[in-house]
Amino acid sequence: MGRQKQSKKLMQQYKLHHNLREPYQVLLGHEILQEAAKSKIDLIGRLQKLMQGQVKPMITQCDMRHLYNAKPKDNALIDLAKTYERRRCGHHELEEPLTSLECLSACVDPNDTLNNKFGYCVASNDAKVRAHLRKIPGVPLIYISRSVVILEPMTEASIDHREREEKAKFKAGLKGRRTAANAGQKRKRDDEDEETGQAPQESIEGRSTGDARPQKKKSKGPKGPNPLSVKKSKKDAPVETSVSKPKSASIPQTLAIAETSIADDGESGKGKRKRKHKPKGGGHAEPHLVEDEAVS
Protein backbone atom coordinates (compact mmCIF):
# COMPACT_ATOMS: atom_id res chain seq x y z
CA MET A 1 0.00 0.00 0.00
CA GLY A 2 2.89 2.34 0.79
CA ARG A 3 4.43 1.65 -2.63
CA GLN A 4 1.22 2.65 -4.40
CA LYS A 5 1.03 5.93 -2.47
CA GLN A 6 4.65 6.64 -3.29
CA SER A 7 4.07 5.88 -6.97
CA LYS A 8 0.97 8.10 -7.02
CA LYS A 9 2.90 10.99 -5.47
CA LEU A 10 5.73 10.47 -7.96
CA MET A 11 3.38 10.55 -10.96
CA GLN A 12 1.82 13.75 -9.65
CA GLN A 13 5.29 15.31 -9.65
CA TYR A 14 5.77 14.23 -13.25
CA LYS A 15 2.40 15.75 -14.15
CA LEU A 16 3.14 19.00 -12.38
CA HIS A 17 6.72 19.63 -13.51
CA HIS A 18 7.10 17.62 -16.74
CA ASN A 19 3.67 18.01 -18.40
CA LEU A 20 2.82 14.30 -18.49
CA ARG A 21 -0.85 13.65 -19.18
CA GLU A 22 -3.23 10.70 -19.15
CA PRO A 23 -3.41 8.33 -20.82
CA TYR A 24 0.29 7.78 -20.18
CA GLN A 25 2.18 6.72 -23.32
CA VAL A 26 4.34 3.79 -22.25
CA LEU A 27 6.98 2.45 -24.64
CA LEU A 28 7.37 -1.29 -23.99
CA GLY A 29 10.69 -2.98 -24.68
CA HIS A 30 10.71 -6.58 -25.89
CA GLU A 31 12.65 -7.69 -22.76
CA ILE A 32 9.92 -6.60 -20.30
CA LEU A 33 7.26 -8.22 -22.48
CA GLN A 34 9.15 -11.51 -22.42
CA GLU A 35 9.64 -11.23 -18.63
CA ALA A 36 5.93 -10.52 -18.08
CA ALA A 37 4.96 -13.49 -20.24
CA LYS A 38 7.41 -15.71 -18.36
CA SER A 39 6.03 -14.62 -14.96
CA LYS A 40 2.43 -14.64 -16.27
CA ILE A 41 1.85 -11.04 -15.29
CA ASP A 42 -0.92 -8.82 -16.64
CA LEU A 43 1.51 -6.04 -17.50
CA ILE A 44 -1.02 -3.42 -18.62
CA GLY A 45 -3.23 -3.93 -15.54
CA ARG A 46 -0.19 -3.67 -13.26
CA LEU A 47 0.94 -0.48 -14.98
CA GLN A 48 -2.44 1.20 -14.57
CA LYS A 49 -2.53 0.26 -10.90
CA LEU A 50 1.03 1.42 -10.37
CA MET A 51 0.74 4.74 -12.21
CA GLN A 52 -2.76 5.50 -10.89
CA GLY A 53 -4.13 6.34 -14.32
CA GLN A 54 -4.99 5.14 -17.80
CA VAL A 55 -2.14 3.73 -19.88
CA LYS A 56 -1.60 3.61 -23.64
CA PRO A 57 0.85 0.74 -24.37
CA MET A 58 3.13 1.28 -27.38
CA ILE A 59 5.78 -0.83 -29.05
CA THR A 60 8.38 0.24 -31.62
CA GLN A 61 8.95 -1.49 -34.95
CA CYS A 62 12.41 -2.59 -33.87
CA ASP A 63 11.14 -4.26 -30.66
CA MET A 64 8.40 -5.97 -32.67
CA ARG A 65 11.03 -7.41 -35.01
CA HIS A 66 12.98 -8.62 -31.98
CA LEU A 67 9.92 -10.61 -30.88
CA TYR A 68 9.71 -12.19 -34.33
CA ASN A 69 13.40 -13.06 -34.27
CA ALA A 70 13.32 -14.47 -30.72
CA LYS A 71 14.27 -18.13 -30.16
CA PRO A 72 12.12 -19.85 -29.17
CA LYS A 73 9.46 -17.79 -30.89
CA ASP A 74 6.39 -16.96 -28.75
CA ASN A 75 3.41 -16.54 -31.08
CA ALA A 76 1.01 -15.74 -28.22
CA LEU A 77 3.25 -12.90 -27.11
CA ILE A 78 3.49 -11.65 -30.70
CA ASP A 79 -0.31 -11.64 -30.99
CA LEU A 80 -0.56 -9.71 -27.71
CA ALA A 81 2.03 -7.17 -28.88
CA LYS A 82 0.09 -6.60 -32.08
CA THR A 83 -2.79 -5.24 -30.01
CA TYR A 84 -0.57 -2.41 -28.77
CA GLU A 85 -0.15 0.82 -30.68
CA ARG A 86 2.75 0.67 -33.12
CA ARG A 87 5.34 3.42 -32.69
CA ARG A 88 6.88 4.12 -36.10
CA CYS A 89 10.52 4.61 -35.31
CA GLY A 90 11.60 4.74 -38.99
CA HIS A 91 14.10 1.89 -38.65
CA HIS A 92 12.02 -0.71 -40.49
CA GLU A 93 13.98 -0.23 -43.72
CA LEU A 94 17.17 -1.50 -42.09
CA GLU A 95 18.17 -5.11 -42.63
CA GLU A 96 18.62 -5.69 -38.91
CA PRO A 97 16.57 -3.97 -36.21
CA LEU A 98 18.32 -1.56 -33.87
CA THR A 99 18.83 -2.45 -30.25
CA SER A 100 16.33 -1.31 -27.65
CA LEU A 101 18.87 1.23 -26.41
CA GLU A 102 19.28 2.85 -29.81
CA CYS A 103 15.62 2.64 -30.86
CA LEU A 104 14.03 3.81 -27.60
CA SER A 105 16.58 6.62 -27.17
CA ALA A 106 15.81 7.87 -30.69
CA CYS A 107 12.05 7.80 -29.97
CA VAL A 108 12.26 9.57 -26.61
CA ASP A 109 14.89 12.17 -27.55
CA PRO A 110 15.06 12.36 -31.37
CA ASN A 111 17.19 15.54 -31.45
CA ASP A 112 19.63 14.58 -28.65
CA THR A 113 18.64 17.68 -26.66
CA LEU A 114 17.91 15.81 -23.40
CA ASN A 115 14.24 16.59 -23.76
CA ASN A 116 11.32 14.15 -23.51
CA LYS A 117 9.58 15.81 -26.42
CA PHE A 118 6.45 13.59 -26.59
CA GLY A 119 6.09 12.79 -22.87
CA TYR A 120 6.91 9.09 -23.03
CA CYS A 121 7.21 6.64 -20.18
CA VAL A 122 9.55 3.72 -20.77
CA ALA A 123 9.11 0.17 -19.45
CA SER A 124 12.24 -1.88 -20.10
CA ASN A 125 14.18 -4.62 -18.35
CA ASP A 126 17.37 -3.59 -20.14
CA ALA A 127 19.63 -1.92 -17.55
CA LYS A 128 21.55 -0.07 -20.28
CA VAL A 129 18.35 1.50 -21.61
CA ARG A 130 17.33 2.74 -18.17
CA ALA A 131 20.84 4.05 -17.40
CA HIS A 132 20.87 6.09 -20.62
CA LEU A 133 17.33 7.47 -20.19
CA ARG A 134 18.06 8.62 -16.63
CA LYS A 135 20.01 11.51 -18.18
CA ILE A 136 16.82 12.84 -19.79
CA PRO A 137 14.59 14.70 -17.32
CA GLY A 138 10.91 13.80 -17.06
CA VAL A 139 11.05 10.15 -18.18
CA PRO A 140 9.38 7.68 -15.76
CA LEU A 141 11.24 4.34 -15.87
CA ILE A 142 9.55 1.00 -15.10
CA TYR A 143 10.94 -2.53 -14.85
CA ILE A 144 10.04 -5.97 -13.45
CA SER A 145 12.04 -7.53 -10.63
CA ARG A 146 11.02 -10.84 -9.08
CA SER A 147 7.54 -10.65 -10.57
CA VAL A 148 7.02 -7.15 -9.14
CA VAL A 149 6.45 -4.13 -11.38
CA ILE A 150 8.55 -1.25 -10.04
CA LEU A 151 8.53 2.46 -10.82
CA GLU A 152 11.97 3.96 -10.34
CA PRO A 153 12.36 7.04 -8.11
CA MET A 154 12.74 10.39 -9.81
CA THR A 155 16.18 10.71 -11.38
CA GLU A 156 18.72 13.42 -10.59
CA ALA A 157 18.11 15.08 -13.94
CA SER A 158 14.37 15.25 -13.23
CA ILE A 159 14.97 16.64 -9.72
CA ASP A 160 17.31 19.35 -11.04
CA HIS A 161 14.75 20.31 -13.66
CA ARG A 162 12.04 20.52 -11.01
CA GLU A 163 14.16 22.75 -8.75
CA ARG A 164 15.03 25.08 -11.62
CA GLU A 165 11.37 25.37 -12.53
CA GLU A 166 10.36 26.11 -8.92
CA LYS A 167 13.04 28.81 -8.62
CA ALA A 168 11.90 30.39 -11.87
CA LYS A 169 8.28 30.43 -10.67
CA PHE A 170 9.37 31.90 -7.33
CA LYS A 171 11.34 34.68 -9.03
CA ALA A 172 8.46 35.39 -11.38
CA GLY A 173 6.13 35.64 -8.39
CA LEU A 174 8.42 38.08 -6.60
CA LYS A 175 8.77 40.15 -9.75
CA GLY A 176 5.01 40.25 -10.17
CA ARG A 177 4.58 41.37 -6.56
CA ARG A 178 7.16 44.13 -6.99
CA THR A 179 5.45 45.31 -10.16
CA ALA A 180 2.08 45.38 -8.43
CA ALA A 181 3.55 47.26 -5.44
CA ASN A 182 5.18 49.85 -7.71
CA ALA A 183 1.93 50.30 -9.59
CA GLY A 184 0.09 50.80 -6.29
CA GLN A 185 2.62 53.40 -5.13
CA LYS A 186 2.37 55.24 -8.44
CA ARG A 187 -1.42 55.24 -8.24
CA LYS A 188 -1.19 56.59 -4.68
CA ARG A 189 1.14 59.39 -5.77
CA ASP A 190 -1.21 60.31 -8.60
CA ASP A 191 -4.14 60.49 -6.20
CA GLU A 192 -2.14 62.73 -3.85
CA ASP A 193 -1.22 65.03 -6.73
CA GLU A 194 -4.88 65.33 -7.69
CA GLU A 195 -5.86 66.21 -4.12
CA THR A 196 -3.13 68.83 -3.66
CA GLY A 197 -3.51 70.22 -7.18
CA GLN A 198 0.22 69.85 -7.89
CA ALA A 199 1.55 68.71 -11.20
CA PRO A 200 3.21 65.27 -11.16
CA GLN A 201 6.97 65.31 -10.90
CA GLU A 202 8.94 64.55 -14.00
CA SER A 203 10.33 61.05 -14.00
CA ILE A 204 14.03 60.30 -14.12
CA GLU A 205 13.58 58.52 -17.42
CA GLY A 206 11.98 61.61 -18.91
CA ARG A 207 14.83 63.82 -17.70
CA SER A 208 17.44 61.42 -19.08
CA THR A 209 15.86 61.47 -22.55
CA GLY A 210 15.83 65.28 -22.56
CA ASP A 211 12.08 65.63 -22.92
CA ALA A 212 11.48 68.80 -20.88
CA ARG A 213 7.89 69.32 -21.97
CA PRO A 214 5.67 69.24 -18.89
CA GLN A 215 2.79 66.87 -19.07
CA LYS A 216 -0.40 68.61 -17.94
CA LYS A 217 -2.41 66.60 -15.52
CA LYS A 218 -6.12 66.62 -16.21
CA SER A 219 -8.02 67.58 -13.09
CA LYS A 220 -11.19 65.72 -12.32
CA GLY A 221 -14.36 67.14 -10.75
CA PRO A 222 -16.38 70.36 -11.19
CA LYS A 223 -14.57 73.47 -12.36
CA GLY A 224 -14.59 76.75 -10.39
CA PRO A 225 -16.40 79.93 -11.51
CA ASN A 226 -14.85 82.46 -13.85
CA PRO A 227 -12.90 84.91 -11.63
CA LEU A 228 -13.84 87.84 -13.94
CA SER A 229 -17.56 87.27 -13.41
CA VAL A 230 -17.38 86.97 -9.62
CA LYS A 231 -18.48 90.04 -7.61
CA LYS A 232 -15.74 91.41 -5.42
CA SER A 233 -16.20 91.19 -1.70
CA LYS A 234 -16.58 94.29 0.51
CA LYS A 235 -13.15 93.74 1.98
CA ASP A 236 -11.58 94.34 -1.39
CA ALA A 237 -13.38 97.73 -1.93
CA PRO A 238 -11.04 100.75 -1.47
CA VAL A 239 -11.61 102.84 1.67
CA GLU A 240 -12.49 106.52 0.96
CA THR A 241 -10.19 108.89 2.78
CA SER A 242 -12.39 112.02 2.51
CA VAL A 243 -16.04 112.25 3.54
CA SER A 244 -18.26 113.44 0.72
CA LYS A 245 -20.41 116.52 1.37
CA PRO A 246 -23.93 117.00 0.07
CA LYS A 247 -24.57 119.07 -3.02
CA SER A 248 -26.77 121.63 -1.15
CA ALA A 249 -23.87 122.68 1.06
CA SER A 250 -21.69 123.63 -1.92
CA ILE A 251 -24.11 126.33 -3.32
CA PRO A 252 -23.94 128.86 -0.39
CA GLN A 253 -20.24 128.48 -0.31
CA THR A 254 -20.05 129.48 -3.98
CA LEU A 255 -22.26 132.55 -3.37
CA ALA A 256 -20.14 133.62 -0.42
CA ILE A 257 -17.03 133.42 -2.53
CA ALA A 258 -18.68 135.53 -5.27
CA GLU A 259 -19.83 138.27 -2.81
CA THR A 260 -16.40 138.41 -1.25
CA SER A 261 -14.86 139.01 -4.65
CA ILE A 262 -17.37 141.88 -5.34
CA ALA A 263 -16.58 143.54 -2.01
CA ASP A 264 -12.93 143.37 -2.77
CA ASP A 265 -13.51 145.08 -6.06
CA GLY A 266 -15.47 147.95 -4.34
CA GLU A 267 -12.77 148.61 -1.80
CA SER A 268 -10.16 148.78 -4.50
CA GLY A 269 -11.33 152.27 -5.67
CA LYS A 270 -14.32 151.96 -7.88
CA GLY A 271 -16.58 153.50 -5.25
CA LYS A 272 -19.90 152.55 -3.73
CA ARG A 273 -22.79 151.65 -5.95
CA LYS A 274 -26.08 153.50 -5.50
CA ARG A 275 -29.45 152.05 -6.37
CA LYS A 276 -32.93 153.48 -6.31
CA HIS A 277 -35.64 152.09 -4.01
CA LYS A 278 -39.34 152.45 -4.66
CA PRO A 279 -41.45 154.06 -1.96
CA LYS A 280 -43.41 151.73 0.28
CA GLY A 281 -46.60 153.80 0.25
CA GLY A 282 -47.20 153.43 -3.44
CA GLY A 283 -47.02 157.29 -3.96
CA HIS A 284 -44.93 159.22 -6.35
CA ALA A 285 -42.30 160.37 -3.92
CA GLU A 286 -38.95 161.22 -5.19
CA PRO A 287 -36.51 158.50 -5.10
CA HIS A 288 -33.75 158.80 -2.60
CA LEU A 289 -30.42 157.26 -2.83
CA VAL A 290 -29.33 154.56 -0.42
CA GLU A 291 -25.82 153.57 -0.09
CA ASP A 292 -25.17 149.91 -0.31
CA GLU A 293 -22.97 148.65 2.38
CA ALA A 294 -20.34 146.46 1.36
CA VAL A 295 -20.93 142.90 2.22
CA SER A 296 -18.48 141.91 4.77
pLDDT tens profile 170-227: 778 766 666 766 666 666 666 665 666 555 554 444 444 455 565 666 666 677 778 8
The amino acid occupying position 177 is R
Do the domain assignments include residue 102? Answer: yes
Do the domain assignments include residue 93? Answer: yes
Do the domain assignments include residue 7? Answer: no
Do the domain assignments include residue 282? Answer: no
* Domain interval for residue 26: 20-159
Cβ-in-10-Å burial (0-12, 13-18, 19+) of 103 comes to buried
- Domain count within the chain: 1
Over 60: is that where the pLDDT of 21 sits? yes
Do the domain assignments include residue 264? Answer: no
Cα–Cα distance for residue pair 206/214, rounded to 1 Å: 10
Low-confidence winner among 5-9, 128-132, 176-180 (lowest mean pLDDT)? 176-180
Do the domain assignments include residue 150? Answer: yes
Confidence grade of residue 290 (pLDDT, cut at 50, 70, 90): very low
Do the domain assignments include residue 96? Answer: yes
Over 80: is that where the pLDDT of 154 sits? yes
The CATH number of the domain holding residue 83 is 3.40.50.1010
What average pLDDT does the structure give for the chain? 77
Do the domain assignments include residue 44? Answer: yes
Is residue 87 a contact partner of residue 27, using CB atoms and an 8 Å limit? Answer: yes
**pLDDT attached to residue 84:** 96
Task: Give percent above pLDDT 70 in the chain.
Answer: 62
Pairing of β 55-60 and β 24-28: parallel
**pLDDT attached to residue 281:** 55
Over 80: is that where the pLDDT of 288 sits? no
Cα–Cα distance for residue pair 63/166, rounded to 1 Å: 37
Over 70: is that where the pLDDT of 115 sits? yes
**pLDDT attached to residue 261:** 53
